[in-house]
Structure 1
Amino acid sequence: MKLRIQHHTTYRYTWPVLYSIQHVRLTPQQQANQRIVDWKVRTPAKQSTAVDHHGNTVLTFSVNQQHRDLTVQSFGHVEIDPLHDGYLPPETNALNPLVYTPTTPLTQFNNEMLEFSSFVADTNIPFAHRMLALANAIADRVEYTKGSTTVADSAMQAFDNGQGVCQDHSHVMLACLRAHNIPARYVSGYFFNPNVEQHDSHAWVEVFDENRQQWLGVDATHKALVDGNHCRLAVAKDFIGASPVRGIRTGGGKESLEVQVTIQRMD
């Protein structure tokens, strides 16, 4: 499947920003099942390119003059092949999966979450079945509700409040898996729904299956294993390390964010 993706991000400020530096992770990953046909990221200042320790392409730019808004645009075409039962092709030169076992401030767990997810440690149940059952349980526990959380809310907050979005589903799932020492990582990207015109950024989780030595993609928001409709941008321990645009600024007052994502199938 070939997708045409456009992603526009605009920040607006109530007061002039004197200086800002931004890190952009909006370049799809090149994999055996996902290939960039063409891709461009436009930023308001000259950008430098690097690859972080998770293997993500990171563009960095700084704006040294006063500004009241800031826009980042990314667009291009990506070819995506279906996965076999949600499993990604084996990786080479990847980090040790154990890197994704410790909790982070956003993925800490409590005793209730530990008990809630206790069945994931039952090795008598097939691995993918356990992970999909956890995804279903999380989606039922944390009702998808736009605007109910912020990017600073943790897994425990979403779990206790019973509301959240894809980012919260992913953080709760990471917390539950890390409670049982199962390596799991956060994934940012896109989910293509052919029935809608306006899309959003999306997030899901990849869990390491030790027996198969492969990562399994699990989308708790959609209660499904990842297949050919998911486009990967970045992976990390949580949202902070995989955020599409993240930076610091001097001045600016209050900030508002507008994101527009359109995805079209080209074949």
Structure 2
Amino acid sequence: MRLRIQHHTAYSYTWPVLYSIQHVRLTPQQDYSQRILDWKVKTPARQHSAQDHYGNTVLTFSVNQQHRELSVLSCGHVEIDELQGGYLPAVSDTLNPLVYTPATALTGFNDEMKDFASFVTDTNIPFDHRVLTLANAVADRVAYTKGSTTVADSALEAFENGQGVCQDHSHVMLACLRAHGIPARYVSGYFFNPNVEQHDSHAWVEVFDKDRGQWLGVDATHKALVRGNHCRLAVGKDFTGASPVRGIRTGGGQESLEVSVTIQRVD
């Protein structure tokens, strides 16, 4: 499937920003199941491109003059293959999967969460069934409620409050899996729904199946394994390491953010 994707991020500030630096992870992953046909990221200043230690393409730019608005536009075409059973093709990762085992500030867990996911260690159940069952349980426990959380809210908070969005579903999944020593990583990207015109950025989880030596993609928000409708942008231990745009600034007062995503299938 070929997709045309456009992602526009616009910041506005109540007071002039004196200086800002931004790290942009808006370049799709390239591997055996996903290929960039063409892609551009437009920023208000010259970019420096590099790879972070998770293998993501990171564009960094800084604005040294006063500004009250800042925007980043990424667009292009990506070709995505359908995954067999949700598994990514086996590749030689630069990082040991165990890197994704320890909890982070956003994916901490308590005894209740550990008990909630205790069945994930039952080797009598196929690995993909265990993971998908956990995704369903998380989606039922944390009701999808737009605007109910912020990027600073943790898995513990979402689990206890019982509401959140795709980012929270992913953090709770990660916390539950890491509570049992199972490597799992956060994925940022897009989910293509042919029945809607306006899309959003999305998040899901990849879990390492040590018996197969492959990562299994699972989308708790949609209660499904990842097949062929997901475009992967970046991976990390949590949202912090895979956020599409993240930076710091001096000045600016209050910040407002608008994000617009359109995805179209191209024959």
TM-score (norm 1): 1.00
Match of 2:187 in 1: 187
**Does residue 1:130 correspond to 2:134, yes or no?**
no
Match of 2:16 in 1: 16
Provide the secondary structure at the position in 2 that maps to 1:84. coil
Please, which runs of 5 or more residues in structure 2 have no aligned partner?
none
Q: Percent identity over the alignment? A: 81
Q: How many pairs does the alignment contain? A: 267
Per-residue CA deviation, residues 169-196 of structure 1 (Å, 9 max, x unaligned), is 0000000000000000000000000000
Match of 1:205 in 2: 205
Per-residue CA deviation, residues 47-93 of structure 1 (Å, 9 max, x unaligned), is 00000010000000000000001000000000000000000001224
**Does residue 1:229 correspond to 2:238, yes or no?**
no
For the aligned residue pairs, the C-alpha RMSD in angstroms reads 0.4
1:4–1:18 Cα change, 3 Å: same
For residues 163 and 266 of structure 2, the distance between their equivalents in structure 1, rounded to whole angstroms, comes to 35
What pairs up with 1:243-258 in 2 under 5 angstroms? 243-258=243-258
For residues 168 and 12 of structure 1, the distance between their equivalents in structure 2, rounded to whole angstroms, comes to 25
The one-letter code matched in structure 2 to 1:196 is V
What pairs up with 1:63-74 in 2 under 5 angstroms? 63-74=63-74
For residues 92 and 137 of structure 2, the distance between their equivalents in structure 1, rounded to whole angstroms, comes to 33
Match of 2:54 in 1: 54
What displacement does 1:94 show?
A: 2.5
For residues 132 and 112 of structure 1, the distance between their equivalents in structure 2, rounded to whole angstroms, comes to 19
Provide the secondary structure at the position in 2 that maps to 1:257. strand
For residues 165 and 93 of structure 1, the distance between their equivalents in structure 2, rounded to whole angstroms, comes to 29
For residues 227 and 13 of structure 1, the distance between their equivalents in structure 2, rounded to whole angstroms, comes to 39
The one-letter code matched in structure 2 to 1:105 is A
Provide the secondary structure at the position in 1 that maps to 2:149. coil
For residues 262 and 73 of structure 1, the distance between their equivalents in structure 2, rounded to whole angstroms, comes to 12
TM-score (norm 2): 1.00
For residues 21 and 114 of structure 1, the distance between their equivalents in structure 2, rounded to whole angstroms, comes to 38
For residues 107 and 230 of structure 2, the distance between their equivalents in structure 1, rounded to whole angstroms, comes to 23
Please, which runs of 5 or more residues in structure 1 have no aligned partner?
none
What pairs up with 1:157-172 in 2 under 5 angstroms? 157-172=157-172
For residues 120 and 256 of structure 2, the distance between their equivalents in structure 1, rounded to whole angstroms, comes to 39
